[in-house]
């Protein structure tokens, strides 16, 4: 009788299942990181980042500053991005099946978006719903999608977008401002359970103007070779603890 389990996981040069897993994952991470490195670094301010709470961090990002040693995207983060696109494709299919006329591409195949300030502020929306069933929303409505883990999704459902996810709130406000559409349907998928939450977000001209003014001020500071102020008075602020530029910010810049 053949023992199908005998020696499972062993490969020459390896010591077992763990070794194989590590080797495969290293290859996957290397491939994803190589893809990422091949991309042109952003020198514009994307709508998805405008709500970042620290202006100095945004200045580092848009001046293509290298993250601190050992910081920046890793393979897992890049897989999470890719998975987000797959979840988005599913949500698009489900909405269309339910009768929502959701457009995600222009006729020429490009993404819907905007570019202002000489291309220094840009954004691309996930889609626009041009018609659909009666759900209490006017059409057209912009459509933005995020795939969230259970804890993050539950927090969104409980508190709403503005309080729970100010970064995404800012993103959709900027989209509505520059695309001149007064409402967005924000759809969030719970990656653990596949539950969906949909929040209608109305345009808030005051918030949008403040965000736009802040973006312009950060671009001006970068162009002048200046660093905007830090978000915090010391480096143990929670935002700084998660920042890829913390060392550069606190040890190498004034
Ligand atoms: S370390 Fe803190 S203050 Fe410095 S850029 Fe990052 S978030 Fe901003």
| Amino acid 89: pLDDT | 97
Q: Tell me what the mean pLDDT of segment 112-134 comes to.
A: 95
Structure tokens that stand for 49 in this block? 């980042």
Specify the pLDDT at position 43.
79
Give 229's DSSP letter. P
Residue by residue, DSSP assigns 48-73 as GGTT-S-HHHHHHHHTTPPPPTT-S-
Mean pLDDT of the chain: 91
Question: Is 231's C-beta closer than 6 angstroms to any atom of ligand 1?
Answer: yes
Q: Which of 18-32, 159-173, 230-244 tops mean pLDDT?
A: 159-173
User: Whose CA is closest to atom 3 on ligand 1?
Assistant: 230
Cβ of 248 closer than 6 Å to ligand 1, yes or no, is: no
Predicted TM-score of the model (pTM): 0.89
CATH architecture of 76-226: Alpha-Beta Complex (3.90)
Alpha-carbon distance values, 81 to 74, 201, 240 (Å): 11, 24, 22
Region 52-62 average pLDDT: 94
Residue 78: pLDDT above 90?
yes
232 lines ligand 1 (CB under 6 A): yes
Number of H helices, E strands in the chain: 9, 8
What's the rounded mean pLDDT across residues 176-204?
A: 97
CB 58 less than 6 A from any atom of ligand 1: no
Distance of CA 202 to the CA centre of its chain: 21
Residue whose CA lies nearest to ligand 1 atom number 5: 57
Query: Strands 196-202, 183-190: parallel, antiparallel or unpaired by DSSP?
Result: antiparallel
Give pLDDT, residue 64.
83
How many angstroms does the Cα of residue 253 sit away from the middle of ligand 1? Answer: 11
pLDDT digits (tens, 9 = 90+) for 129-186: 999 999 999 999 999 999 999 999 999 999 999 999 999 999 999 999 999 999 999 9
> Within 13 Å of residue 118, how many CA atoms lie on the same side as its CB?
4
With a 6 Å cutoff on the Cβ, whether 216 touches ligand 1 is no
Question: Span 197-225, mean pLDDT?
Answer: 95
Confirm if 167 and 151 have CB atoms less than 8 A apart: no
């Amino acid at each position: 009788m053949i023992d199908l389990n005998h020696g499972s996981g062993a490969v020459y040069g390896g010591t077992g299942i763990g070794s194989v897993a590590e080797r495969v994952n290293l290859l996957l991470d290397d491939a994803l990181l190589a893809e990422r490195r091949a991309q042109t670094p952003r020198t514009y301010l994307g709508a998805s980042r405008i709500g970042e709470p620290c202006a100095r961090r945004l200045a580092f990002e848009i001046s293509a500053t290298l993250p601190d040693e050992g910081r920046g995207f890793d393979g897992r983060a890049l897989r999470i991005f890719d998975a987000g696109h797959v979840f988005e494709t599913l949500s698009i299919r489900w909405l269309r099946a339910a009768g929502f006329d959701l457009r995600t591409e222009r006729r020429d195949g490009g993404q819907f978006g905007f570019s202002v300030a000489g291309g220094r502020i840009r954004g691309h929306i996930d889609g626009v719903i041009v018609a659909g069933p009666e759900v209490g929303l006017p059409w057209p409505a912009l459509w933005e999608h995020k795939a969230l883990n259970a804890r993050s999704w539950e927090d969104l459902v409980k508190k709403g977008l503005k309080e729970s996810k100010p970064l995404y709130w800012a993103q959709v406000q900027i989209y509505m401002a520059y695309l001149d559409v007064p409402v967005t349907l924000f759809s969030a998928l719970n990656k653990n359970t596949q539950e969906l939450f949909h929040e209608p977000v109305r345009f808030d001209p005051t918030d949008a103007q403040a965000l736009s003014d802040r973006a312009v001020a950060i671009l001006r500071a970068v162009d002048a070779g200046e660093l905007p102020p830090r978000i915090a008075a010391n480096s143990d602020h929670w935002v700084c603890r998660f920042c890829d530029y913390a060392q550069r910010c606190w040890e190498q810049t004034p």
